[in-house]
Amino acid sequence: MDRPMRVAVTGAAGQIGYSLLPRIAAGEIFGKDQPVILQCLEIPPVMKALEGVAMELDDGAFPLLEDIVLSDDPKVAFKDADLCLLVGSKPRGKGMERKDLIRENGPIFVSQGAAIQAVAGSEVRVVVIGNPCNTNCLITMANAPDIPRDRFSAMTQLDHNRAQSAIAKKAGVQSRDVRNVIIWGNHSSTQYPDWHHAMVKDKPASELIEESWFRETFIPHVQKRGAEIIAARGHSSAMSAANAAIEHARKLYQGTPKDRWTSMAIPSTGNYGIPEGLICSVPVTCDGSGTPTPVLDVEMNDFSRERLQASVNELIEERDTVSDLLG
Ligand code: NAX
C-alpha cells in the first residue's frame, strides 16, 4: 500500500460534502489500492454537524480511510494536502444567479488560497467547486502565487455530464455512447455547451439530431439545469455535483479514456482568444499526472466563437468585480 493521499474538503458538512466524502473514502478518486486521509474544513457553527458526518464515516468502516481530520482552521485542514476540493461557500438560492454570490463568496478564497500556499503538500492540486467557481478559482490562484498555475481548476464536469446525458436521451442511446461534448466558458447561464464535435457511437451527433434542437432546446437545458433542479428539489444539485467532483478529480489522477475529452475550467494560456490567466472551461485530456492538458485544435464556427466570447465577457466582468481580491 502507498502513502495515504491527503484530501482536504471544505464545506464538508454541507450537502455536496455529504455525498462526496464517502466516495472519496471508498477510493473513487485514486483507486481501490490507495489509502486516503480526509481533512475536513467547516465554519465554527457547523463543527458539531461535521462531527456527526465523521461518525458516519467511522461507521462506514472504509478499508482505505486511514484518518479523518476535522477543523475550522484552514491551516490545519490544508496541512500537507495533496488535493484540495474547495466546496465550502454559500450555495445559490431560489431565483438567485451565481454572480449575485460573487462578492459574498469571493473573500473565503483569499484566505484559503494563502493557507494552501503556506501549508499544503508540494504536489498539491486545487479544484474549486463552490460558486462562482471559475472566479473563486481565480481568487484562490491569485492568493497562492508560488503554486504553479496548472495545478488549479474549477469544475464544469457537472455541466459536461448534463450535456452528454441530454444528447444520449435525445439520440436514444446510453450516456456512455456519447463522447466529446464541450463546455466552454463560465459555470453559469452563459456557458456554451458545444455539440459540434460530439459523437454518438461512431456518428457525429450533428448528423443524427437536427440543428434546431441543439440551438433551441439543448443549450438552454444545460445552461438552466441547475435552476431547474433548485425549482424541483428546493435545494441546489448535490448528489450530481458530488458525482462530478469525483469524476473531475479521478480524471486528474487516473486520466481521461483514450479518444475522449472532458471539460474543465483551467487557467487560460491565451488560446481560443480567451485572455491569459482567466479560469475558463475548455476541452481537456488528462494523462493521470494531476495536470490537465487543453485540447488546442478544436475548430469553431462563428456561432461557437460568439457563444464563447459572451461567456468570456462575463468572466472578465467577474474578474473586474473582484479585482481587489486578486492580490
Ligand atoms: P451547503 O450550503 O449545503 O454547504 C456548504 C457548506 O460550506 C456549509 O456546510 C457551510 O458551513 C460551509 N462553508 C461556508 N463557508 C465556509 C468556509 N469559509 N470554510 C469552510 N466551509 C464553509 O452547499 P452545497 O450544496 O454543498 O454547495 C456548495 C457549493 O457548491 C455552493 O457554492 C454551490 O453553489 C456550489 N455548486 C457548484 C456546482 C458546480 O458545478 N461547480 C454545482 C453544484 C453547486 O451548486
User: Span 157-325: which CATH code?
Assistant: 3.90.110.10
Q: Could you confirm whether 196 is annotated as catalytic? A: no
Residue 246 in contact with residue 28, Cβ under 8 Å? Answer: yes
DSSP run (H or E) holding 59: helix 47-59
Closest C-alpha to ligand 1, atom 36: 130
Q: Is the pLDDT of residue 1 over 60?
A: no
Q: Given the CA of residue 18, which atom of ligand 1 is nearest to it?
A: 26
**Three cell numbers, residue 261:** 475529452
Task: Return the C-alpha cell found at 104.
Answer: 459574498
Ligand 1 atom closest to the Cα of residue 156 is 40
242 within ligand 1 shell (Cβ under 6 A): no
Question: Is 46 near ligand 1, meaning CB less than 6 Å away?
Answer: yes
pLDDT digits (tens, 9 = 90+) for 25-51: 999 999 999 999 999 999 999 999 999
CA dihedral for 119, 113, 46, 21, sign (positive or negative): negative
Q: Is 33 helix (H, G, I), strand (E, B) or coil?
A: coil
Would you state the cell numbers that stand for residue 5, as one nine-digit string?
Answer: 493521499
What residue ranges of the chain are covered by domains with CATH 3.90.110.10? 157-325
pLDDT, one tens digit per residue, over 161-201 is: 999 999 999 999 999 999 999 999 999 999 999 999 999 99
Per-residue confidence at 326, pLDDT binned at 50, 70, 90? very high
Query: Residue 267's beta-bridge partner residues?
Result: 279
Q: Cis peptide leading into 145, omega within 30 of 0?
A: no
Distance CA 91, CA 176 (A): 30
CA 169 – CA 45 distance, rounded (Å):
43
Distance 236 CA to ligand 1 centre (A): 10
Pick the CATH number of 5-154 from 3.40.50.720, 1.10.220.110, 2.40.50.140, 2.60.40.10: 3.40.50.720
Cα(238) to centroid(ligand 1), Å? 9
Which of 187, 196, 197, 248 is labelled catalytic?
Answer: 187
Residue 111: count of CB within 10 angstroms of its CB: 13
CA-90 nearest atom, ligand 1: 32
Task: Write down the pLDDT at residue 186.
Answer: 97
Provide CATH 3.40.50.720 ranges for the chain.
Answer: 5-154
Residue range 218-254, pLDDT digits in tens: 999 999 999 899 999 998 899 999 999 999 999 999 9
Q: Is the pLDDT of residue 268 over 60?
A: yes
| CB of 108 shorter than 6 A to ligand 1 | yes
